[in-house]
Amino acid sequence: MADWRRVAPVAEFPPGTRWLADLDGVGIVIFNLDGDYHAIEDVCSHDGGELASGRLEGCQIVCPRHGARFDIRTGAVAAPPAYEAIASLPTRIHEGWLEVRDDRWD
């Protein structure tokens, strides 16, 4: 099973913020959505665009390239032109740190 990886001290990650991180070469973005933490891979399933700079509307991230929408809680597609989900990664708080685990390859 993949190890949990520390991303940021929770105290530096207030609601409404987002963090970029690199997990062994995989870019991810983590959102603090009203105190709940959600991590997704920073790659749009439509044409590979980055998502981290996209507009967040509620629980949906809007891809800045062509406007596809994804639910940051699950990675599910919410609007085309994307039709495939993006990766959603588990998060946890441990000893005051936000941690993420990429267990897709376990």
The token duo for 59 is 């629980």
Residues 6-65 that bind ligand FES (CB under 6 A): 44, 46-47, 49, 63, 65
Minimal distance, residue 88 CB to ligand FES, in Å: 16
Q: Which residues contact 70 (CB under 8 A, 6 or more apart)?
A: 40, 44, 45, 51, 60, 61, 63, 76, 77, 78, 82, 85, 86
Q: How far apart are the first and last CA of the chain?
A: 5
Residue 82 sits in the site that holds ligand FES (CB under 6 A): yes
In the list 2, 10, 52, 81, the residue contacting ligand FES (rule: CB under 6 A) is 81
Residue 77 sits in the site that holds ligand FES (CB under 6 A): no
Q: Name the site residues for ligand FES (rule: CB under 6 A).
A: 44, 46-47, 49, 63, 65-68, 81-82
